[in-house]
Amino acid sequence: MDEGLRSELSKQGVFTTTIEDIYNWGRRNSVWPLQFGLACCAIEMIATTMARYDLARFGAEVFRPSPRQADLMIVAGTVTKKMAPQVVRLYNQMPEPKYVIAMGACAISGGPFKQGYNVLKGIDRFMPVDVHIPGCPPRPEALIHAFMTLQKKIDAQKLTGPDRARHLNADEPSEFPVPSFGAKDLDPPQNNALWQPPKLERAE
Amino acid sequence: MEALESIKERIEAAVPGAVLEIVENPGPAAEHSLAVGHEQAVRVAEFLRDDDELKLDHCSNVTGVDWLDSVEKLREKVKKVVDGEEKEVVEVKEIHTPGYLESVYHLFSMKLGHGPVVLRLRTGNRTDDVSMPSLTPVWRGAELQEREIFDLYGIQFKGHPDLRRILMWDEFEDHPMRRDYVEPDDYEYEPTPHDEVLKKAQARYGEGGAQ
């Protein structure tokens, strides 16, 4: 619809909108996170939901104890290799549309445990992550910022066309392989379709 | 609390055949410990727990130590006859110590409020002779910590009620806290590596390291 016409109509008290706008408006204001925490970042996540920071302002106060009812997975904390298959399985059990916020240094990269043997070096090796938040742990404001970023992202999603949202595209996968425990490491150590080791370019 | 020497003497009197050795701690804390032979270890532990003057009823900490094969070089001045003349020559002696695994128990008494008494149990070597008696039947609190040592160091505790891995998954094969463990090379290197990490980065990315 033409922006000028829409503006003119709204001056006359006639509101016009699109299905896409209403649909995304509703979705972005009721993002229900999955209630689980892995480490100390979870404490900050809990603080964010409480009265002082009040995540309820963003429509995300309803933490669901079942992945079947959740829209958002906040990976809050260190993902150990022993825990990684369970985290991926929980993600697979969530219905579409689903989103992931990787919260804190550990969840995005392994953090201080990066050179250890037992911590996964970022959950984005096994599942698509929408918003990464650095910090150790990130402050509640950072999580709220991630939420607002995610809301903007949801708001911009298309319902139709080739660049439509993932959950409306039957060709896009909504489940990802769960790694199994190997003799030395997870098997496979990463999902190559999702994540490739970065190519380092030498500084001249 | 009673001196370690007299504890050792009393154990030897009470538990015939016990092999004990005092391991000196050269640090300022001077917290010497008792190395205990395998045969009578459980009976020694029971004595320490039940003795009226010790009553070491609380095993606060059990940990593992991995000792690699070590070579100690000693320089000695020796008088020798060289070319008909007597001269002082420096000779280097090498003392080879085979590696072993060790578990260390810190014992306290809740009843009498003293401690710690430190026990050490050692395995024969680091490869095939890696078993030792479990002290879990004596101090129940050692159960999870002995499982952790089994997991991370690979010491087999005989008589442990439930010896499974506790931190790593069951399919895992290595023992990550051993000194010769090589962790999987699955992380990106920092842009300015140095020392050991630089060598690793060069092995993976070529001469320039991770730059």
Tens of pLDDT along A101-131? 999 999 999 888 888 889 999 999 999 999 9
Which H or E run contains A27? helix A19-28
Q: Count the neighbouring beta carbons within 10 Å of the beta carbon of residue A109.
A: 21
Here the tokens at position B133 are 């008696």
pLDDT value for A83: 93
Q: Which of B186, B188, B190, B197 best probes binding to A when mutated, by most A CB atoms within 10 angstroms?
A: B186
Selecting from B170, B173, B176 the residue whose C-beta is nearest the C-beta of A117 gives B176
In this predicted model, what pLDDT tens digit does every residue of B54-99 receive, in sequence order? Answer: 999 999 999 999 999 888 888 888 877 877 778 788 888 888 888 9
In whole angstroms, give the CA distance from residue B45 to residue A167.
Answer: 63
* Residue contact B169–A121, C-beta within 8 A: no
pLDDT of amino acid A93: 94
Whether residue A181 and residue B172 make contact (CB cut-off 8 A), yes or no, is: yes
ipTM: 0.76
- pLDDT tens digit sequence for B157-180: 999 999 999 999 999 999 999 998
**Inter-chain residue contact A200 with B188, CB threshold 8 Å:** yes
Residue A89 clears pLDDT 90, i.e. is over it: yes
Q: Residue A81 has which token pair?
A: 């290799």
Sign of CA dihedral B157, A84, A60, A103: positive
Residues of A in contact with B208 (CB under 8 A): 202
